[in-house]
Structure 1
């Protein structure tokens, strides 16, 4: 389930490229005094994602912008909708917006679908898989490395599939397994470096942009991918990474 916010800029402003933790902070503030109030402290997956503020570009007063927030938890999205409807405006860093419209969306996957990442997909390769994916010695680091296009595409896709299955099973309390989720994938751009402020410390995340093509989605694939569209692809979804749209 997704929440679409149509926003109107209240002033001239430079577009804030460091929006990740600011939109996350806005969401956490909206969840105060609710059953989700402790989600910030929850270890592991938070099960929500969000887009960038689009279209991207510096703002003039009365410019129109949009923001999407997604989650496989329908109650989470409905609560955010109710909380936002109580407000006339919201602030994201220095950007201030009047809330024009807000509505819930439910994207529908067709059997032959194309998906595109709107924000970078972050994938880490754990140290235990360096040999498996033939990571060159000079790139190896302790614990993990971020996937970059100089590594094999197999490493990206396999780690992405493992991540989606793990999140799906944790959320639904299941133990499903799948050999393959993705059919045809197209690398668009990367590596994309993003610096995110977490608990007062700047951290670096490396991501990439992709297209995914499907000629015939099985029932099982659709189930996983519908979940992924709501939850986000890859890691650090609660910072807005891995937000994917249907083309």
Structure 2
């Protein structure tokens, strides 16, 4: 039974941070935590699914500058209970030149019937020719997102589920134009998307899984973090 663990991380800013750099700064905190022990250093360095996702700092700042000497929160979610415990033990003492963690809390998101999931950070789908709108359809994008989630679920649960089920019965784009977000030394284009989740048991299971791992690709770098609406 997959459980989604949510860690609420309260932080104090040592310097101003522009919105464009928030994901990078949170990644630095998380990465520095992962490399503290050999097991998770190896995990961090491997090119494999990470099974965690995170959002950006809130409350939001209208001028897109998060302020020095102010307190904000971000959330990490994971379906890996050992990783959740590791973060609770080690991230709570972490700091960088711009951010200091001051408190953390942990909860398990209860399993209830999910009406929809919607992305808080842009969903990325890395097609060969780049951003999906170049030469792909909405159906292509939905198929890629679905296949990615099922592949992650199969690998995490060490299973091979029957894929003959409807996962989403509607998707809706929240943004009117692509959203650019920095990744390493480039900017990637993505979308904020709302997915109406189908009623069947497998769709509900995968949607609950998505709350922890994110939707789309590069979730451990701040992309595709989703929230939920219960029925």
TM-score (norm: length of structure 2)? 0.84
5 Å-filtered alignment, 1:104-115, equals 104-115=106-117
Cα distance, 1:3 vs structure 2? 0.7
1:15 and 1:95 in contact (8 A); partners too: no
2:6 and 2:77 in contact (8 A); partners too: yes
2:12 and 2:70 in contact (8 A); partners too: yes
How well do the aligned residues superpose, as a CA RMSD in angstroms?
A: 2.3
Q: Tell me the number of residue pairs that the alignment of Structure 1 and Structure 2 aligns.
A: 219
Cα shift readout 1:162-199 (whole Å, capped 9, x = no counterpart): 110011111111111323211122111141122311xx
1:148 and 1:207 in contact (8 A); partners too: no
Structure 1 gap ranges (5+):
126-142
1:160 and 1:234 in contact (8 A); partners too: yes
Indicate how the Cα distance of structure 1 residues 145 and 17 shifts in structure 2: closer, same or farther if over 3 A, else same: closer
Instruction: Show the counterpart of 1:24.
Output: 27
1:82 to 70, 74, 89: 89
2:79 and 2:213 in contact (8 A); partners too: yes
5 Å-filtered alignment, 1:59-74, equals 59-74=66-81
5 Å-filtered alignment, 1:1-247, equals 1-10=5-14, 13-31=16-34, 32-57=36-61, 58-85=65-92, 87=93, 90-91=95-96, 95-99=98-102, 101-125=103-127, 143-148=128-133, 151-178=136-163, 179-189=165-175, 190-197=177-184, 202-214=185-197, 217-247=199-229
Cα distance, 1:64 vs structure 2? 2.8
Structure 2 gap ranges (5+):
none
1:49 and 1:230 in contact (8 A); partners too: yes
Cα distance, 1:154 vs structure 2? 0.9
